[in-house]
Amino acid sequence: MERLIPLHHLSLGAFGKVRHLTADGNTRRRMLDLGLICGTRVEALQKSPSGDPIAYEIRGAVIALRSEEASKILVEVL
């Protein structure tokens, strides 16, 4: 059984696989445009000095997402 967590709870250096997006509207469209579709592997790379945003590697690109956005992406920890 897979355990889903919001992306912003993924530990630095850990990998997750996107399983569900709870965002809608323009936010959902942006996430899909970034390649955050079901099955995409994501790595949490580093946090900014304030802790928000967090940098993630997604399909070979480094993308910074704020916790508010990342909380709408549910991942399975790998």
Question: What domains sit in the chain, N to C, each tagged with a CATH number?
Answer: 4-77 (2.30.30.90)
Question: CB of 75 within 8 A of CB of 22?
Answer: no
pLDDT at 13: 96
Give mean pLDDT, residues 65-77: 95
pLDDT at 70: 95
The overall pTM is greater than 0.85: yes
pLDDT at 1: 54
The CA R_g of the chain, rounded to the nearest whole Å, is 11
CA-based nearest residue to 73, from 30, 14, 50 = 30
**What does the pLDDT look like over 47-60, one tens digit per residue?**
999 989 999 999 99
Question: How many residues are given for the chain?
Answer: 78
**What does the pLDDT look like over 11-32, one tens digit per residue?**
999 999 999 999 999 999 999 9
Question: Residue 34 pLDDT > 80, yes or no?
Answer: yes
